Copies of this chain bind each other. A is one copy, B any other.
Amino acid sequence: MRPSVAVDLGGGLTLAHPVVAASGCLGSGRDVPALVDLHRLAAVVTRSLTRAPSKGAPTTRAAETASGFLSWVGLQNPGVEEFVEVDLPRLTRFGTPVIASIAGSTLDEYVRMASWLHVQPGISGLEIYLGTPDHERRGDPFFSHLERIREVVGTVSRLSRVPVFVKLPALLPDLVATARACVRDGAHGLTLIDAVPGLAVDAGRLRSKLAGPVGGLSGPAIKPIALAAVYRVSSALPDVPIMGVGGIATGEDGVEFLLAGATAVQVGTAMLVNPSAPVEIARGILTYLKDKGIGSPAELRGRLRVRGDEEAPGRADDDGMPGGTAAGRTGSVPWGSTP
């Protein structure tokens, strides 16, 4: 890769190119197959680690949906200690920056895991996963209570010497406000988006295709949803590093996320289908930059042009008809406020 595709995520985290392996899609770390060219990835995010080992969800754990992949792995992982002992040394051998994803079930667990991980040689960043049930809030996922997000993010960010990214789901109507709060509380950057809750039904057998009633939807189906989330948050927080993730499979997809406001991108499902996807995506981004004569991925960031920027969509409708602009004025944009 030419140096010009390097991206600076800030906090000392510079990547050789903008394409990172997403959490949960790279095996256990100890036995990544050679087909995934580990040393050519810009960075890897580990599967989300829990304090103690977790066996994860019962089977069946996955289903195929239209241009999507629905899965519920339930965070099967060796636990943070065994990860540091067994997986991390093998991962770091490749010289690729490792970002550890942490999934606590109490504030204390987040703190213990972060304290243990951030000082490990080879750990270049932390990613806070907030989808785990919060045992101090009746099992609601952490992301469902803003004050819990802030406690976790604030505490972890204060203690960590490596940059902390917070992974947010798209389905928060107050996504921008939440993102802003995370940054105010010390988060270095954001990862957008987590898999989207979905259900697949086996009509023939009258049952859920997965062992549970819900899984996370990933893959090309969710790309527009992820792009919208990245665009919204990066428009509101243009200086905050964002890793965009959701359905990225080609160089063009990668470019789309950079244009929408991502600093780097993560690749999950595409890697399952095509283990060299991240490398191909990085190459595709480079080709695009060359073709367009653009100097670096950073110059793409937030360059997305939208008709609404130039001409308020509201005004387009305003031809003096009473109320005719009800929907038009702010464009009936189906999302929440961006305070």
A residues with CB within 8 A of B: 48, 50-58, 65-68, 70, 72, 74-75, 79, 103-105, 109, 131-133, 135, 137-141, 143-144, 169-174, 194-201, 203, 205-208, 210-217, 219-225, 227-228, 231-232, 235, 247, 252, 255-256, 259-260, 288, 303-308, 311, 313, 316-317, 319, 321-337
Contact = CB atoms under 8 A, between A and B. Distances in A.
3 nearest A-B pairs in the assembled complex, by CB-CB distance = A52-B323, A198-B224, A66-B220
A216 B334 contact: yes
B140 A326 contact: no
A51 B221 CA distance: 35
B56 A317 contact: yes
A299 to B, nearest CB: 11
Contacts of A174: 144
Contacts of A311: 58
A23 to B, nearest CB: 13
Given A139-B330, A337-B144, A308 B54 contact: no
A143 B334 CA distance: 9
Contacts of A54: 317, 323-328
A303 B203 CA distance: 10
Contacts of A303: 206
Contacts of A227: 198-201
A172 B336 CA distance: 10
A65 B227 CA distance: 12
Contacts of A173: 143-144, 171-173
Contact of A335 (B105, B197, B326, B332): B197
Given A256-B203, A321-B52, A321-B53, A331 B66 contact: no
Nearest to A58: B316
B224 A199 contact: yes
A259 B332 contact: no
7 contacts: A50-B324, A54-B328, A56-B317, A103-B327, A109-B323, A205-B305, A213-B235
Given A141-B335, A198-B225, A198-B228, A304 B207 contact: yes
Contacts of A66: 67, 219-221, 223, 247
A225 B169 CA distance: 13
A117 to B, nearest CB: 16
Given A207-B305, A317-B74, A50 B326 contact: yes
Contacts of A140: 336-337
Contacts of A259: 201, 203, 206
A322 B171 CA distance: 31
A303 B206 CA distance: 7
A239 to B, nearest CB: 19
Contact of A199 (B228, B313, B331): B228
B224 A308 contact: no
Given A74-B331, A316-B58, A304 B206 contact: yes
A302 to B, nearest CB: 11
Contact of A132 (B67, B172, B332): B332
Contact of A212 (B169, B211, B306): B306
Contacts of A235: 213
